[in-house]
Amino acid sequence: MPTKRQETTAHVHSPAIEDYLEQIHNLIEAKGYARVVDIAKNLRISQASVTNMIQRLDAEGYVIYERYRGVIMTDAGRKIGQEIARRHEVLTRLLASFGLDPQTVHEDVEGMEHHISRQTLEVLTLLMEELEGNPELLMKLKRQLG
Amino acid sequence: MPTKRQETTAHVHSPAIEDYLEQIHNLIEAKGYARVVDIAKNLRISQASVTNMIQRLDAEGYVIYERYRGVIMTDAGRKIGQEIARRHEVLTRLLASFGLDPQTVHEDVEGMEHHISRQTLEVLTLLMEELEGNPELLMKLKRQLG
DNA sequence: GCGGAAGTTTAGCCTGAGCTAACTATTTTG
DNA sequence: CAAAATAGTTAGCTCAGGCTAAACTTCCGC
């Protein structure tokens, strides 16, 4: 893997970090708080790994963490969490509109969501909106999918 | 042995492996052979890392490797290399048709190409073809991009 | 208000995939 | 055809991000 060389300037974050922040963001949206055990369950990794990463997220300024007490997000963390959630939603709606099986959609979205620039997100949003507002076109394309 | 169906190109290989096989495939297409030094240059990693990985690719049956003599691809390796190259091409054409800057296209494609299922590839191919055959629609969408 | 269940943290380990430095092999060229 | 340049390899590191086992905290029912 051509690992992105660490930019000295604006700090770049890994897919893993994005996954955690997206998850924490979603949990806080949904239940008002984010527990280690739930993050671990949703990401399907061990609780120990979550604790570990949360400490890193705190050190890097994405969350504020107090031992045994849970996390809250900083503005920086929330921003990233929201961005990823947005990419997730657009991709999911776009693919789902073609009737792909939900499991496949989920897997592809999980994989792709970390790699989409602002510009590409705009393109995909546009495509999604066009298809949602133009059922004729969508039907035509779906017919071609066989 | 009970029958274990494994039809859907199971993700048994890493993104890194796909990157190498895509690159080796492209080089062989273009020049008839793939040298360590060129693979390293294209993936922007060290030659030592390439040698290392090539040995793994041989061990896992994707290429045949002879010390100091270069690599050739097995059928398994070629299949993956072609698949990734195909995903690469579809994504590139789709995004480029909206006039996104080539550097951005390239980065996004590099990131996304490893995560696209057969079904999603079909959807994206369809969208690409529709836009290429329907300049009206493409123009309309591009106008909306601002 | 205490004891066990549930949740969290620590310690120590592993693997993938990069790196550099030093060496070896091959190719090119004066 | 030998020596310099180029290409390839090996050894030994690093780092991210997983893991398990065991220890520690918190919470809840009795």
CATH number at residue B112: 1.10.60.10
Q: How many domains does chain A have?
A: 2
CA B45 / C1′ C19 distance in Å: 9
Give the bridge partners for A70, in sequence order: A66
A3 domain-assigned: no
A125 domain-assigned: yes
Residues B73 and B99 in one domain: no
Which pLDDT value is given to residue A11? 65
Which pLDDT value is given to residue A57? 96
Residues B64 and B107 in one domain: no
Residues 6+ apart with CB under 8 A from A85: A22, A25, A26
Residues A92 and A134 in one domain: yes
B8 domain-assigned: no
B5 domain-assigned: no
Which pLDDT value is given to residue B10? 45
Low-confidence ranges of chain B (pLDDT < 70): 1-11
Residue B138, chain A, CB below 8 Å: the answer is: no
Lookup: tokens for B18: 């796909």
- Residue range of the domain that includes B100: 82-145
Give the bridge partners for A73, in sequence order: A63
3-state helix, strand, coil in chain B (%, to 5): 70, 5, 25
3 state SS of B121: helix
B1 domain-assigned: no
Q: Whose C1' is closest to the CA of B68: which nucleotide?
A: D8
Residues A52 and A27 in one domain: yes
With CB atoms and an 8 Å threshold, state whether A144 touches B126. yes
Which pLDDT value is given to residue B38? 97
**Which candidate in B123, B137, B139, B142 is best for mutational testing of the A interface (most A CBs within 10 A)?**
B123
Q: Which chain A residues are closer than 8 Å to B123 by Cβ?
A: 95, 98, 100, 145
Please give residues of chain A from 22 to 51 whose alpha-adjacent beta carbon (CB) lies under 7 Å from any atom of strand C: 35-37, 47-48, 50-51
Which pLDDT value is given to residue A6? 38
Question: Along the 146 residues of chain A, how does pLDDT read in single tens digits?
Answer: 343 333 333 468 999 999 999 999 999 999 999 999 999 999 999 999 999 999 999 999 999 999 999 999 999 999 999 999 999 999 999 999 999 999 999 999 999 999 999 999 999 999 999 999 999 999 999 999 87
Which pLDDT value is given to residue B11? 54
Residues 6+ apart with CB under 8 A from B12: none
pLDDT digits (tens, 9 = 90+) for A103-134: 999 999 999 999 999 999 999 999 999 999 99
